């Protein structure tokens, strides 16, 4: 009996992936982009440390599939960010990886041509180039870390990281988060469970040692220092919202019990809006009202937004794709996004200074 009969029975092939250092060398980080990333991270840390009274807003497409439309969106968002920057720290949502309950398009890195060719090597370079272009606009980016090897390829271009509801309980993602260079938002479980997110914050704050990938593309023992900037993201659960004042108070109690800072972000999408994108403005308005009434634990919001409202299925003929419209979760359109953010800035401008008192 040969080892062929025992090992990799269900593996069709091993295709070599360029090492992170190779892709970094082909697509280096410019000085301007580096300044954007570092400034974005520092602003976030200051908000979480209560040295900056602003609210951060992670806003953008559910997923990136068309870099041309994505950059169109980014330029619009940068102009809006410049307008409201004294009140809101704007971070562009740049998601390349999509977790799937069963099957479906897994995102721009996994299948950049949306044709099931799964040219991950090409997707990784395209994703890195897109992040460089966004950073060179002066706009910090946030993303979901799904593949534990991904941050080695593009982590130097990210200012904020999310760990999704399906992976917050994963030990692999908690360990990875302990070594990330960004603040990390852990979403509550899909069923609404807060404990998994609180435990994830605690776990990621500690040092870990685990198998990972180094810059040369070799498997290595990664030894981390721990990440002190983990925080909770409320996204609703089991079909119900959890951003109301009672739910927020329960989160505050859970964080107090765990001896963690009261840093709470609300995802206006997913179960918090019953997966109806048109309800996201109502969630945003409620959060703004809670802050106006004196809540000091709410530090950020997430919005799924695109140029056009709603979403679309991926057609066999990709030329039929509607420009600037999501191919994953439904989004609010650009006009709605502008109104949500401008309204929030107007309503919060006079109350935020009191948050540091």
Answer whether residue 357 shows pLDDT above 70. no
What is the structure's pLDDT at 216?
97
Model pTM score: 0.97
Beta carbons within 8 Å of 180's beta carbon, 6+ residues apart: 145, 151, 155, 161, 227
Beta carbons within 8 Å of 313's beta carbon, 6+ residues apart: 327
Q: How much of the chain exceeds pLDDT 90, in percent? A: 95
- 211 token code pair: 């198998």
Q: Which tens digits make up the pLDDT trace of 315-337? A: 999 999 999 999 999 999 999 99
Which of 298, 306, 294, 299 minimizes the C-alpha distance to 269? Answer: 306
Residue bearing tokens 């308005």: 285
Q: How confident is the model at residue 356 (pLDDT cuts 50, 70, 90)?
A: confident
Answer whether residue 3 shows pLDDT above 80. no
Q: How confident is the model at residue 101 (pLDDT cuts 50, 70, 90)?
A: low
Answer whether residue 7 shows pLDDT above 70. yes
What is the structure's pLDDT at 355?
85
Q: Which tens digits make up the pLDDT trace of 231-270? A: 999 999 999 999 999 999 999 999 999 999 999 999 999 9
Answer whether residue 100 shows pLDDT above 80. no
Q: Which tens digits make up the pLDDT trace of 12-28? A: 999 999 999 999 999 99
**CA gap 16, 164 in Å, rounded:** 28
Q: What is the CATH number of domain 30-47+54-356?
A: 3.20.20.70
- 28 token code pair: 């280096």
Q: Which tens digits make up the pLDDT trace of 186-214? A: 999 999 999 999 999 999 999 999 999 99
What is the structure's pLDDT at 102?
63
């Amino acid at each position: 009996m040969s080892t062929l009969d025992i090992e990799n029975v269900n593996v069709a092939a091993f295709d070599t992936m360029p090492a992170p250092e190779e892709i970094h060398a082909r697509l280096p980080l410019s000085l301007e982009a580096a300044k954007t990333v570092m400034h974005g991270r520092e602003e976030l840390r200051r908000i979480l440390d209560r040295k900056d009274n602003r609210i951060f807003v992670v806003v953008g497409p559910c997923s990136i599939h068309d870099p041309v439309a994505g950059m169109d969106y980014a330029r619009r968002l940068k102009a809006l960010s410049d307008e409201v920057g004294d009140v809101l720290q704007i971070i562009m949502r740049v998601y390349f990886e999509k977790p799937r309950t069963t099957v479906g398009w897994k995102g721009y890195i996994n299948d950049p041509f949306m044709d099931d060719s799964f040219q991950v090597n090409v997707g990784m370079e395209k994703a890195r180039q897109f992040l460089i272009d966004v950073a060179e606009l002066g706009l910090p980016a946030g993303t979901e870390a799904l593949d534990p090897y991904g941050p080695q390829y593009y982590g130097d271009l990210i200012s904020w990281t999310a760990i999704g509801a399906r992976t917050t309980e994963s030990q692999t993602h908690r360990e990875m988060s302990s070594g990330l260079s960004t603040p990390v938002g852990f979403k509550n479980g899909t069923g609404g469970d807060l404990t998994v997110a609180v435990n994830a914050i605690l776990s990621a704050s500690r040092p870990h040692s685990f198998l990972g990938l180094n810059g040369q593309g070799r498997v290595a023992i990664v030894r981390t220092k721990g990440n002190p900037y983990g925080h909770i993201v409320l996204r609703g659960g089991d079909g119900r919202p959890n951003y109301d004042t009672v739910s927020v108070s329960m989160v505050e109690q859970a964080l107090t019990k765990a001896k963690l800072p009261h840093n709470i972000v609300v995802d206006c999408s997913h179960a918090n809006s019953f997966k109806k994108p048109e309800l996201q403005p109502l969630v945003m308005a409620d959060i703004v009202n809670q802050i106006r009434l004196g809540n000091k634990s709410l530090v950020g919001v997430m919005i799924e937004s695109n140029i056009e409202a709603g979403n679309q299925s991926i057609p066999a003929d990709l030329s039929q794709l509607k420009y600037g419209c999501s191919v994953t979760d439904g989004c609010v359109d650009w006009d709605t996004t502008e109104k949500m953010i401008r309204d929030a800035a107007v309503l919060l401008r006079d109350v935020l200074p009191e948050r540091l008192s």
